[in-house]
Amino acid sequence: MITIPYLTALTTYFSYGLLFAFGQFREFFRKIFDWWRGSNLQGYAPICLGLEDFYIRRLYLRIQDCFGRPICSPPDAWFDVVERVSNDNNKTLKRTTQVSRCLNLGSYNYLGFAASDEYCTPRVIESLKKYSASTCSARVDGGTTSIHMELEECVANFVGKPAAIVTGMGYVTNSAILPVLIGKGGLIISDSLNHNSIVNGARGSGATIRVFQHNTPSHLEKVLRELIAEGQPRTHRPWKKIIVIVEGIYSMEGELCQLPEIVAICKKYKVYVYLDEAHSIGAVGKTGRGVCELLGVDTADVDIMMGTFTKSFGSCGGYIAGSKELIEYLKYSCPAHLYATSISPPAAQQIISAIKVILGEDGTSRGAQKLARIRENSNFFRSELQKMGFEVLGDNDSPVMPIMIYNPAKIPAFSRECLKHNVAVVIVGFPATPLLLARARICISAAHSREDLNKALEVFSEVGDLTGIKYFPAEPQKQQVEENRVKLE
């Protein structure tokens, strides 16, 4: 639970209120001018209508230069950001031929596999020559190659499950598979801050949906007890199936799931556990096997394990791992398997090679070194930010660390000032977060050196002072403490 300082909340509400008032004022005159000019679509309902359209035109367009910045190099520790200009007050942005070499603190390149790798890249190139870039077919038609079979076996062994199924897109893994797992008469109990792919998948299932307070096992148990006692709406019959859905690392909070307590509650009430490890698989745990390994949870106690390959493995797609019966059922019923084009063979080979590096099967210790480096980098960077006075969310060992910004005027200011100092960051605001809880989301990589992190800290300290987002008093530096001790002596 984030506790917002009273003054910060007041000024943030005032800023949004001011933007909303001026936006509505401009909307009034826009309607007059549109009526005066006439329209070729008279009689049609507006295709873009409501507060969402208002938000995009009157708030988002003002700062859209802070989003969707194109790059023209691999998303390694440093990458090339294409510069853009606007001649119409940010309504449209035009790319230029100029590029800026920036420190990358926005990509999900947790283990550094997004750039060329001495073990992975040659094997990916060979698979491209052998299988081409795409199978041009769904898995059940002509889209299954020996690489896909090897990948599913490799993933199942890596996460500690009997079997696995892979899809070509991480988002679809949740949104397409949840409606297959549960339907009308079932109950989904979801963490209040679960990813949008889970939200859409749950809504598409037709099941009854209830949420529990973010990462609060006690409230989960309370919700479970009440809903099991009540049964289905109107009929009060027992639920056909109950699934509790949580994430390993919450992507906007950087927090680790309280998995041991949640699993214990689910076992007590005989309900299924669905674990989304999109941001945790490969990034945490002694051997990179995710939050189950990190928190000491037996994977046999987690019924359905989901993850993506876009973060730690430098590829694309997602997977579901579980019992052999579950995976066989999904292969005959999941739309992502039946109708979507299978994952690209070179992308599949990249995942296989990355897993082998992580496990040391490439004959080196590079995988163990990467895991140790991302853990050290994450804990060092989080600690230093907190010492400077920033409000940083999340837990130790998590490579995701949100820095709270709150005020809407500070969102673009922080992003633009960082870019001027050649540091590329991701800023997140409404509707991806609640209105008051805008933030900058920092993603740390094993590819970052200590010099890279120190540069980022220097820039953040300067920009944080400039924008006024150091909401806590900074800790005194060691040199100042020693000087004060000398004076006292």
- Specify the pLDDT at position 488: 45
- Which residue reads 């096992």 in tokens? 217
CA distances from 283 to 122, 171, 255, 318, 373 (A): 23, 19, 13, 15, 10
Neighbours of 322 (CB within 10 A): 25
Q: Are strands 423-424 and 163-167 parallel, antiparallel or unpaired?
A: unpaired
Assess whether pLDDT exceeds 70 at residue 40.
Answer: no
Q: How confident is the model at residue 30 (pLDDT cuts 50, 70, 90)?
A: confident
Please give the helix or strand (H or E) that residue 2 lies within, else none. none
Let me know: does 169 contact 344? Beta carbons within 8 Å: no
Residue 25 burial by CB count (10 A; 0-12/13-18/19+): exposed, middle or buried? exposed
Contacts of 122 (CB under 8 A, 6+ apart): none
Distance CA 298, CA 303 (A): 11
Report the percent of the chain where pLDDT is more than 70: 95
Confidence of residue 480 (pLDDT cuts 50, 70, 90): low
pLDDT at residue 369 in the model: 97
Q: Which residue in the block uniquely carries the two structure tokens 């920092």?
A: 442
* Two structure tokens written together for 297: 């949870």
The overall average pLDDT reported for the chain is 92
Who wins on pLDDT, 37 or 373?
373
Is residue 140 left, alpha or beta, with left meaning phi > 0 and alpha meaning psi from -120 to 50? alpha
As a whole number of Å, the end-to-end CA separation of the chain is: 43
User: Residue 38 pLDDT > 80, yes or no?
Assistant: no
pLDDT tens string 332-387: 999 999 999 999 999 999 999 999 999 999 999 999 999 999 999 999 999 999 99
Residue 100 CA to residue 70 CA, distance in Å, equals 11
Q: Lowest-pLDDT range, 10-19, 43-52, 138-147?
A: 43-52
- Residues 6 or more apart whose CB falls under 8 angstroms from that of 135 comprise 142, 143, 144, 145, 341, 342, 344, 345
Task: Spell out a b/e string for 87-121, using b for 16 or more CB atoms within 10 Å of the CB, else e.
Answer: eeebeebeeeeebeebbbbbbbbbbbbbbebebbe
Domains detected in the chain: 66-104+368-488 (3.90.1150.10), 120-358 (3.40.640.10)
| pLDDT tens for each residue of 43-83 | 777 777 777 788 888 888 889 999 999 999 999 999 999 99
Is the model more confident about 485 or about 145? 145
Strands (E) across 40-143 are located at 78-85, 94-104
Dist CA 445 CA 75 (whole Å): 11
Residue 90, pLDDT score: 87
Check whether 435 has a pLDDT greater than 70.
yes
Q: What CA–CA distance (Å, rounded) separates 246 from 257? A: 7
pLDDT band at 482 (very low <50, low <70, confident <90, very high): low
CA dist., res. 218 & res. 229, Å (int): 17
Q: How far is the C-alpha of 37 from the C-alpha of 57, rounded, in Å?
A: 20
pLDDT at 481 over 60: no
Residue 262 near residue 246, CB atoms below 8 Å? yes
Cβ distance 362 to 119 under 8 Å?
Answer: yes
CB 285 within 8 A of CB 323: no
Is the pLDDT at 106 greater than 60? The verdict is yes
Question: pLDDT, tens digit, for every residue of 237-255?
Answer: 999 999 999 999 999 999 9
Residue 454 has pLDDT above 90, yes or no: yes
Residue where the block lists tokens 């059940």: 140
DSSP assignment of 246-268: EESB-TTT-PBP-HHHHHHHHHH
On the question of pLDDT at 163 being above 50, the answer is yes
pLDDT at 484: 53
Cβ atoms of 433 and 405 closer than 8 Å: no
**CA dist., res. 362 & res. 364, Å (int):** 6
Q: How far apart are CA 299 and CA 170, in angstroms?
A: 21
Q: What is the pLDDT of residue 483?
A: 55
User: For residues 174 and 201, is the Cβ–Cβ distance under 8 A?
Assistant: yes
Q: For position 377, what pLDDT does the model report? A: 97
pLDDT at 35 over 80: no
Weakest mean pLDDT among 17-31, 77-91, 115-129: 17-31
For 117-121, 275-279, 428-432, 468-472, which range has the lowest pLDDT when averaged over its residues?
428-432
Q: Taking residues 299-316, what's their average pLDDT?
A: 96
